[in-house]
Amino acid sequence: MSDTATMMPAPGTLPPTEKQILYARQLAIQTNAILPWQAQQDRRALSRWIDAQKASAQASDAARRPTSKQVAFAERLAAIKRTNVPDECFQDRQMLSRWIDSHKP
């Protein structure tokens, strides 16, 4: 089998759009993932890869955010101390935890 035969997409597959490839490359950089060559050859395969990466990124983003109980406690603590919780603390669980620890009575 020649090298060109291995580089051709399977019959009946559509190549990904340029916009789809650019988005996948951007997503690969953001998630520090490897974009498989095979996925870049088939529109459906690339779409599945994009969906998987987006789900993974959303799951890791949700894992970093503070819980609702943590936010409620920080807001009660801020009211008692007559101060405000910095906005950036609401973006990261560990940061909010450190803020709570530093403001406990």
Q: What is the DSSP string of 17-33?
A: PHHHHHHHHHHHHHHT-
- What is the percent of the chain where pLDDT is above 90? 59
The domain segmentation of the chain, as residue ranges, is 16-64, 68-103
pLDDT of residue 24: 94
pTM for this model (two decimals): 0.54
Give the pLDDT confidence of 52-85 residue by residue, as tens digits. Answer: 998 887 777 777 889 999 999 999 999 999 999 9
Q: What is the DSSP string of 75-100?
A: HHHHHHHT----GGGGG-HHHHHHHH
